[in-house]
């Protein structure tokens, strides 16, 4: 692992333009910014390991809006806010007057007078989460330009229908730590595959986030899923383009075995087919309960045709040196543990349990890095100051 | 806008006696205290605009008790607590044992051992919210005098059945900013009028708060509402007396047009009639669901007779220079936007949308000012110290 | 009350080994640690009384997990976390994905990356709360030893099925303050008795906590309850052994009057019989609603046979000098106040109301002391530093 001084130097060499901006989709940001985020997350993690504070604010609010359940992202955001010196406030849409006719435009301003960061999870409805975040962002820009807001808060996407950037960047930070550097990832074979789960309606944002980010670092990314379990076509197209540009590869197949063959990294995870999520969104909007029941039944029956899409020992034995790195955003559906048949066998999961925890451990630091970069005018100088303070302090 | 130095001087010249006191009704406080709050809110807002912290505490709790939904007041209180350096803790009466027989007296002490401020919203039952706050206050006074509490926390009224002081003082701070000074408000015509809404049971505290505060600054306050939509008689009487004492005027009519005629400021807003709220309180206490349904039906039918009480372009054209300042505590019922027919036309609201956001932006600073004045023994010295610190710092 | 300097000296003389450990049951900790906690709680309370901060952290999270309702413990934990400089985050199991298959092992790590303390209340199911806390603790130990967690957070038991250590130690701190010293408690007669309540299923952890702690300080502890209202046998056996070792006494009877006779301290409180809690746990696990209804009916009928177990004036008159100190963890079931017939008469409770508030006031400082001792490597040096800082500061 690079020293604090090396990380600081690397960080200061990377040009970023994130001040008072939002972070919604990784592919909307240049590679230098992704590298800066990963480097900064590493640095903050090192400081925390040494017991040094990296607090950057005296006061200020970080607001979270969760439109879906969450544990690890919720606590990652809470941890990051606290570590940066921000107070956390959750917008509970049940307790607020959002239901009573407050528009997004108005609410966005009303909660933001002393707010630095707004973290949003909205991954339930295809075509809506990302759109909602942009709507909030436009309202904040408007509020700031009209002088209503003294400073424009930054939005951090904590998972939308399209991308899950804090997950994919935490995954990238973990891969960097595991393989030694981002450069070491060039040519590595990553199998992002569908896997069977007895549940239904899992969002597409994790696989989309992975193919949308890892193809930028020269990896050989293999997407595999049963027929019909497609991702959003635009993201798949983008992954292909990015792979070509970065000197990597990107392929799509309908065979899990093909993707696993010789893989250095495997990421087997269930999701709902794109077209099912589209139908579901329509039914949800109409509150069509019988329709939703029918769709669920149909989908589970469909899933059940692909119960062989499981990450087993036999499949792991076909990977590079029989020991590909297994990844998962957690919680995984583990056969014989959390369900009768699931994404991964108990034996494989147990072997890689601790590595998946390490993978998860990067998320609070990635979110901290996003807060740091979007809220500080000169993040390089501030990081230098924090490192100096840490070195002068004996806690 | 006055400079920080001018504001400091003005603030230090105003005598206040709020240390460890509650702030429940504006009219229970001398004009000097109201002026001090407005001046301080201005000052803190300027500091925030300059990116300077006005944190005054190292640790301490601010507790919120919301017995009704809220977005802007909830976030205003959270923002103010955070900015002052206090941690926020919400008393969720569902999760606490309040339901299981804890008396107000006991609960008030149990939550207050390390607490500085308690913010309460209790506006649902006529005759109860203000009474509840006084009960909590008595318990705190008792606890402090018995040595149970090291310091007596202060209660901030975040809306009761009688007054909504953080709203009315934020409105006053906005009027001061808009017209240049509190003195400039003398003689200004303010139309506080009822307006049609398809909803029912809106509290009376906003119009009562407005007539109870603005009549103290020499304004010509015109209250207008349909017959039967009366406010609490005591507050109306008080408004009349205050207007006389301040050299202003106060009138009550049943004609919206009359109130708007030549007005400098209009504040059209729906509320339920006083006697309806009284009946509703009785029915709620008896959990008389059929009775409540019946009352709602009756009230909505009654409201529907006054759908012409809408703030339209035509009415705005009768105000001073056709351009009175439109005010609203938000969220407004906007015709063709949030409902089919409401308090204000879409066109008028859109014209004044940003000014209503500015109006709202004063609330967190008014609440901060109340925390500052009720918790610090020598607020003038502390403010001086904060301003000096801000001027020495380059963030 | 000893001075800050005396308390510091006493504290520094006591050897503790709590760094990065959990605090689950008082009897698992040597007397020196209990004395250190009480002394430290006293010291922090004195600092707070003087208006001095005892903040020990710049950032860090304190997580609370409440599996049962709570007011005073919830706010005590929130207050302690805030006073120590930690941010509070509540794990709401409804909003998290715990329901969706996250194991305790995984969740414990996922919430802990930047966490210092986890406070848990889990007192509903006999045989489960303590087991759950140990499970969480094992997961944290594993996570820290694997390098997943930079530091192992400490668990503070906020009430389990076996013990309620923050309650019993707050009670001990109050007894120390009331009688002048821990030494003054030697030989004092404490009646820990069952009392009638119209409610059902109250946990056993308070009486168990009291007999499990007070028997270590040379007191004459008298447990009394109706036949069949037994506590967990192991805790009763332990109390006997501890009393013998400390030069105190411990007796169990089925007569309230006997326990009260000549008592210096009385603690009359309702609880459910041990074997009922066992049956209830089984029924709850099977979600056997008719069975639970039946059990409740049976239990209330059973309770009703013991309505004479009330703390009355007549009984108080049989205590030492007719003026034993009445204690209760609150809220009490007060006859004619919170119920028709309850644990204590209105007159007796009102006489001792303020003392019970004082009793409760120690809890936030006991929890602060636990945070301090479990998170700081050299608590003696840190306390010295905090006291010096307090003495140098003029707030």
Q: Write the pLDDT tens digit of every residue in B364-380.
A: 999 999 999 999 999 99
Any A CB within 8 A of B113 CB: no
Same domain, C90 and C172: no
Q: What is the pLDDT of residue B128?
A: 87
Residues A137 and A187 placed together within one structural domain of the fold = no
Same domain, B242 and B299: yes
Q: What is the mean pLDDT of residues C231-248?
A: 97
SS3 category, B78: helix
Residues B135 and B227 in one domain: no
Residue C274: per-residue pLDDT: 84
Number of CB atoms found within 10 A of residue B147's CB = 12
Cα dist from C171 to C182, C210, C325, C329, C350, whole Å: 12, 8, 12, 8, 19
pLDDT value for A102: 57
Check CB contact under 8 Å for C113 and A70.
no
Residue A331 preceded by cis peptide, ω within 30: yes
In this prediction, residue B101 carries a pLDDT of 47
Residue of B nearest to A110 (CA): B72
Is the CB of residue A82 less than 8 Å away from at least one CB of chain B?
no
Q: What is the mean pLDDT of residues C286-298?
A: 90
The Cα-based distances of B393 to B6, B50, B52 in angstroms read 20, 11, 8
* Residue B24 reports pLDDT greater than 70: yes
How far off is chain B from C245, nearest CA to CA, in Å?
Answer: 35
Mean pLDDT of the region B59-64: 97
Does B148 contact chain C (CB < 8 Å)?
A: yes
pLDDT digits (tens, 9 = 90+) for C300-337: 999 999 999 999 999 999 999 999 999 999 999 999 99
Phi, psi (deg, nearest 5) at residue A146: -85, 0
Tell me the pLDDT tens digit for each residue of B27-37: 999 999 999 99
A227-265 per-position pLDDT tens digit: 999 999 999 999 999 999 999 999 999 999 999 999 999
With CB atoms and an 8 Å threshold, state whether B331 touches A58.
no
Contact C69 B100 (CB under 8 A): yes
Say whether residue C262 is in contact with chain B using an 8 A CB cutoff: no
Number of continuous H segments (helices) and E segments (strands) in chain B: 15, 9
Confidence band for C68, pLDDT divided at 50, 70 and 90? confident
C10-37 pLDDT tens trace:
999 999 999 999 999 999 999 999 999 9
Residue of A nearest to C150 (CA): A49
Put simply, the answer to whether A71 touches C102 (Cβ < 8 Å) is: yes
Partner residue facing A114 (CB), from B82, B339, B357: B82
Kindly identify which residue of chain A lies nearest to residue C102, measuring between CA atoms.
A331
Distance from CA of B208 to the nearest CA of A (A): 22
ipTM for the whole complex = 0.95
Q: Are residues C298 and C325 in the same domain?
A: yes
What is residue A103's predicted lDDT score, i.e. its pLDDT? Answer: 85
Which subunits count as partners of chain A given 3+ CB pairs below 8 Å? Answer: B, C
| Stretch among A92-106, A148-162, C190-204, C235-249 having the lowest mean pLDDT | A92-106
Q: What proportion of chain B, given as a percentage, has pLDDT over 70?
A: 97
Does B115 sit within 8 Å of C51, measured CB to CB? no
B134 and B221 assigned to the same domain: no
pLDDT of residue A95: 59
Scan for tokens 């339930």, then name that residue: A124
State residue C347's pLDDT score: 97
Q: Under a CB-based contact definition with an 8 Å cutoff, are residues B149 and B136 in contact?
A: no
Instruction: Give the number of domains in chain A.
Output: 2
Inform me whether the C-beta atom of residue B59 falls under 8 Å from chain A C-beta atoms.
no
Across the interface, which of C91, C113, C151 has its CB nearest the CB of A79? Answer: C113
C71·B107 Cβ contact <8 A: yes
pLDDT of B70 reads 83
C82 touches chain B (CB under 8 A): yes
Cβ within 8 Å, pair C87-B89: no
Instruction: Give dist(CA C37, CA C366) in Å, integer.
Output: 7
Same domain? For B153 and B271 the reply is no
- The CA distance from A37 to A370, in Å, is 7
What are the chain A neighbours of B333 within 8 Å (beta carbons)?
Answer: 101
Rounded to an integer, what distance in angstroms lies between the CA atom of residue C125 and that of residue C282?
Answer: 9
Average pLDDT for residues A175-190, to the nearest whole number? Answer: 98
Query: What's residue A23's pLDDT?
Result: 98
User: Which range, B337-346, B385-394, C125-134, has the best average confidence (pLDDT)?
Assistant: B337-346
Residue C126 banded pLDDT, cuts 50, 70, 90: confident
- C48, B147: Cβ pair inside 8 Å? no
pLDDT at A96: 54
Segment B170-196 mean pLDDT:
98
Which pLDDT score, from 0 to 100, does residue C99 have?
41
Evaluate if residue A395 carries a pLDDT over 70.
Answer: no
Q: How far apart are CA C195 and CA A276, in angstroms?
A: 60
Asked if B352 and B368 sit in the same domain, the reply is: no
| Interface touch C60/A82, C-beta < 8 Å | yes
Best CA proximity match to A29, nearest among A150, A143, A163: A163
pLDDT of residue A255: 98
Q: Does A75 touch chain C (CB under 8 A)?
A: yes
Residues of A in contact with B55 (CB under 8 A): 58-59
Supply the range of the domain harboring residue C67: 4-163+363-392
d(CA B56, CA C313): 49
Cβ atoms of C112 and C151 closer than 8 Å: no
Q: Check which CATH number belongs to the domain holding B101 and give it.
A: 3.40.50.1370
Of A88, A361, A364, the CB nearest to C148: A361
pLDDT level of residue A7 (50, 70, 90 thresholds): very high
* B190 and B138 both lie in a single domain: no
- Please give the interface size between B and C, counted as residue pairs whose CB atoms are below 8 Å apart: 93
Mean pLDDT over each residue of chain C, to the nearest integer: 94
Same-domain check for residues B302 and B172: yes
| Per-residue pLDDT tens over the stretch A352-363 | 999 999 999 999
Tell me the C-alpha distance between B237 and B235, whole Å. Answer: 5
Mutation target among C19, C64, C84, C89 for the A interface, most CBs of A within 10 A: C89
Non-local (6+) Cβ contacts of A64 within 8 A are A74, A77, A78, A88, A89, A90, A91, A118, A119, A120, A121, A158
Instruction: Say yes or no: B374 and B309 in one domain.
Output: no
Beta bridge partners of A222: A191, A251
Top pLDDT among C91 and A326 is at A326
Q: State mean pLDDT over B124-145.
A: 93
Instruction: Please write the tens of the pLDDT for every residue from A72-131.
Output: 899 999 999 999 999 999 998 765 544 444 588 999 999 999 999 999 999 878 888 999
Q: A315-326 burial, b if ≥16 CB within 10 A, otherwise e?
A: bbeebeeeebbb
Same domain, A101 and A35: yes
């Amino acid at each position: 692992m690079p020293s604090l001084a090396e990380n600081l130097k690397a960080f200061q060499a990377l040009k970023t333009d994130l001040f008072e901006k939002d972070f919604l989709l990784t592919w909307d940001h240049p590679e230098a910014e992704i590298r800066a985020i990963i480097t900064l997350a590493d640095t903050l993690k090192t400081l925390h390991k040494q017991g040094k504070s990296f607090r950057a604010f005296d006061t200020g609010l970080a607001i979270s809006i969760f439109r879906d359940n969450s544990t690890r992202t919720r606590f990652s955001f809470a941890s990051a806010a606290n570590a940066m010196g921000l107070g956390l406030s959750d917008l509970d849409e049940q307790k607020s007057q959002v239901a009573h006719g407050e528009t997004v435009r108005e609410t966005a301003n009303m909660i933001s007078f002393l707010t630095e960061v707004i973290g949003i999870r909205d991954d339930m409805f295809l075509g809506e989460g990302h759109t909602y975040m942009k709507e909030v962002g436009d309202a904040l820009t408007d509020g700031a330009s009209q002088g209503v807001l003294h400073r424009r808060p930054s939005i951090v996407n904590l998972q939308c229908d399209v991308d899950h950037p804090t997950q994919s960047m935490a995954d990238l930070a973990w891969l960097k730590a595991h393989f030694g550097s981002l450069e070491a990832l060039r040519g590595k074979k990553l199998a992002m595959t569908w896997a069977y789960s007895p549940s239904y309606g899992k969002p597409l944002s994790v696989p989309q986030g992975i193919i949308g980010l890892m193809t930028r670092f020269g990896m050989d990314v293999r997407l595999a899923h049963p027929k019909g379990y497609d991702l959003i076509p635009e993201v798949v197209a983008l992954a292909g383009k990015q792979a070509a540009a970065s000197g990597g590869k990107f392929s799509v197949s309908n065979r899990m075995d093909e993707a696993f063959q010789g893989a250095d990294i495997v990421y087997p995870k269930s999701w709902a087919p794109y077209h099912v999520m589209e139908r579901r969104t329509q039914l949800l909007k109409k509150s069509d309960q019988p329709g939703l029941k029918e769709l669920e039944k149909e989908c589970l029956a469909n899933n059940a045709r692909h119960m062989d899409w499981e990450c087993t020992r036999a499949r792991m034995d076909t990977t590079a040196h029989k020991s590909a790195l297994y990844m998962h955003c957690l919680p995984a559906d583990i056969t014989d543990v959390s369900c009768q048949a699931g994404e991964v066998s108990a034996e494989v999961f147990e072997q890689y349990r601790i590595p998946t925890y390490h993978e998860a451990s990067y998320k609070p630091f990635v979110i901290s890095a996003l807060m740091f970069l979007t809220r500080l005018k000169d993040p390089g100088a501030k990081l230098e100051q924090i490192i100096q303070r840490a070195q002068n302090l004996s806690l």
